[in-house]
Amino acid sequence: MEEVSHYSVLKNEVVDFFKNHLQTDNQYIVDATVGGGGHSKAILQALPHIKIIGIDKDYYALERAKQNLQEFNDRVILVKSAFKNVDEVLKDLNISKVGGFLFDFGVSHFQLKLPRGFSFMRDEPLDMRMDTSQDLDAYYVVNYYQEWQLEKILREYGEERFAKKIAKAIINQRQKKKIETTKELADLVYSIYPPKLRRGRIHPATRTFQAIRIEVNNELEEIKEALNKAIDLTDTGGLIQAISFHSLEDRIVKQTFKEGKRLKKLEVLTKKPITPTQREIEENPASRSAKLRVARRISSGVEDDKG
C-alpha cells in the first residue's frame, strides 16, 4: 500500500500544554485519535515519564503509528477502537484514570490521500469509512437514503445552503444510474451551484462530502460521547485537549467544556481557541481551520467515585 505522511496540527502547542499545565502524577495520556502517531511522538520526546495509550479505528493509521513510535515501544499501547469506547479500552487495560486526553477530530491525511473515497479531487469509489470493517459507507448513504434524510444531513452536517436542491438532484440521478464514484457526486453538486459561486475559495462539493463523511462515521455523536467520558476518566489535575476543524466539532467541544465548568469538574484554560501560526499554515495549508481548546480536571465529584 502507498505510504502517506501525516502532518500533526498544533503539535508544539499540544506538547506545551502537557509539559507546563499537567498537575497530576498519573503517567498515562490517551491519544484518542492517534493517527500516524505524530502528536504522541512529540509528547513522548518532551515528557520522558509519560506513557501513551493510542486509539484509532483505522487499521492503516495504527500500523503507521506502530512504525513511527517503535523507539518508544515500552511506553506505548496501541488499540483499535472508536474513541467513544475509551472507557472500555481503559477497563480492558485495568486502568481507572489517566493523566490526560488528546483528541484530533476530523479526517486524517491517510484517509484523504489513500483511495478511500474521502476526497473529490480524485475519481474513487464512494466509501468514506474511517473503520473499513463497518457496513455503512458513502455509497449506501448516497444511493439508498431518502430525499429528506439526504437534505437533513447536508443541511445539519454540511451547513449546505443548497441542501434541498442537491438532495433532489441525487435522487433524480440515481433513478437513472447509481452514483458510484467521488467524481460523479462532486460533478453533480458542482452542476447545482450557480455559476458565480463555483469559483469560491472552497470547491462546491466540500460541504456535501463533509456531511456524508460525518454521517458515515457518526462523528458528532461520537465526539459528544467521548468528551463526556474523558472528563470522568481524567485524574484531578489532568488535561483534556481537543483539536477541531469545523464549527460543528468546535461547538461541541466548547459546550462540553462549558458544562464541565458549570458542574465544577473543569477549569477551561483557553478562553478563546488556539489557532495555528502563520508559519504552520504556510507549511500545511490544511491546518488553517484548526482550533485547539484545553481544559483541566479540577475535581472528582461524588458521582465519579461510585463503583
The 3-state secondary structure of 48-72, one letter per residue = CCCEEEEEECCHHHHHHHHHHCHHH
Q: How much is the pTM?
A: 0.85
Pairing of strands 234-244, 291-297: antiparallel
Query: Over the stretch 122-147, which tens digit does the pLDDT of each residue have?
Result: 789 998 888 778 899 999 999 999 99
How far CA 299 is from CA of 183, 224, 232, 261, in Å, comes to: 51, 20, 10, 10
d(CA 116, CA 71): 30
pLDDT at 248 exceeding the cut of 70: yes
Cell of 1: 500500500
- pLDDT computed for residue 112 by the predictor: 52
264: left (phi > 0), else alpha (psi -120 to 50), else beta? Answer: left
Q: How confident is the model at residue 101 (pLDDT cuts 50, 70, 90)?
A: very high
Q: What is the mean pLDDT of the chain?
A: 89
Please tell me whether residue 238 adopts helix, strand or coil conformation. strand
- pLDDT computed for residue 3 by the predictor: 42
Across residues 33-54, what is the average pLDDT? 95
Dihedral sign (CA 34, 37, 42, 48): positive
What is the signed CA dihedral for 141, 134, 102, 266, rounded to 10 degrees?
Answer: 70
- Range with the poorest average pLDDT among 59-63, 204-208, 271-275: 59-63
- pLDDT computed for residue 116 by the predictor: 55
Q: How much of the chain, in percent, has pLDDT values that exceed 90?
A: 70
Q: How confident is the model at residue 200 (pLDDT cuts 50, 70, 90)?
A: confident
Query: Over the stretch 180-196, which tens digit does the pLDDT of each residue have?
Result: 999 999 999 999 999 88
d(CA 134, CA 112): 18
pLDDT at 118 exceeding the cut of 70: no
- pLDDT computed for residue 224 by the predictor: 95
Pairing of strands 76-80, 51-56: parallel
DSSP state of 288: G
154: left (phi > 0), else alpha (psi -120 to 50), else beta? Answer: alpha
Burial class from Cβ neighbours inside 10 Å (0-12, 13-18, 19+) for residue 126 reads: buried
Across residues 87-94, what is the average pLDDT? 97
Across residues 108-135, what is the average pLDDT? 72
- pLDDT computed for residue 302 by the predictor: 46
Q: How confident is the model at residue 109 (pLDDT cuts 50, 70, 90)?
A: low
- Range with the poorest average pLDDT among 96-105, 150-159, 278-287, 290-299: 278-287
pLDDT at 2 exceeding the cut of 50: no
- pLDDT computed for residue 283 by the predictor: 85
Strands, DSSP E only, in the chain?
Answer: 28-31, 51-56, 76-80, 98-104, 234-244, 266-268, 291-297
Q: How much of the chain, in percent, has pLDDT values that exceed 70?
A: 91
Hunting for cell 481507572 — which residue is that?
A: 96
- pLDDT computed for residue 119 by the predictor: 72
Across residues 253-280, what is the average pLDDT? 95
Domains of the chain, CATH where assigned? 11-110+219-305 (3.40.50.150), 115-217 (1.10.150.170)
- pLDDT computed for residue 306 by the predictor: 38
- pLDDT computed for residue 10 by the predictor: 93
Between helix 147-156 and helix 163-176 the angle, nearest 10°, is 140
Across residues 191-207, what is the average pLDDT? 87
**257-263 long-range contacts, CB within 8 A, separation 24+:** 257/293, 257/295, 260/231, 260/295, 261/295, 263/301
